[in-house]
Structure 1
């Protein structure tokens, strides 16, 4: 298991990014959370098997239709054993 913190920059708010990400996370079987940041970016923590986390990172780098991702930054974190994927306000 691995865990990554992700910051997604670009046109990623008001385009259904967080809710689409939750659907994708559930499809891939990863856990964690996602939220909007005050600076216009989206922040997430993703945990799961390495291949599933990598697939989720690839999805976040594209986003849903209507999003325009300009950059993605990641940082390794210690896994927490979290279950489920939540959209935070």
Structure 2
């Protein structure tokens, strides 16, 4: 799909930058709840330019599910765009944090 590497049963990391009215609307907490439901680890953090950065690690199909939710109609605030890159997993995360 989006340039993901490896086999579908191997964990991968997706880093997404979410644009729009996504700060001060509970967006990071909503993202954390969805990620935990799916079984992903990582974090969501506000950036100084008004975007939210979401880093998630897990199976590619699960990462795709989170991206679909980020682009979907049920997010808090108003998402105008999502840009993502796929990379190999790093050292791993404990749970899903708000930063």
On whether the aligned pair clears a TM of 0.5, the verdict is: yes
User: Aligned partners of 1:26, 1:17: CA distance in 2, in Å?
Assistant: 14
* Contiguous gaps of at least 5 residues in structure 2: 1-10
Whole-Å Cα distance in 1 between the matches of residues 17 and 32 of structure 2? 15
Q: Which runs of 5+ in 1 are unaligned?
A: none
More strand by share: 1
Give the helix-richer structure, 1 or 2: 1
Provide the residue aligned with 2:39 in structure 1.
Answer: 29
**Normalised TM-score (structure 2):** 0.82
Tell me how many residue pairs correspond in the alignment. Answer: 87
Runs of 4+ displaced beyond 4 Å: none
Give the TM-score of the pair, scaled to structure 1: 0.90
Q: CA RMSD in A?
A: 1.2
Q: Which has the larger radius of gyration?
A: 2
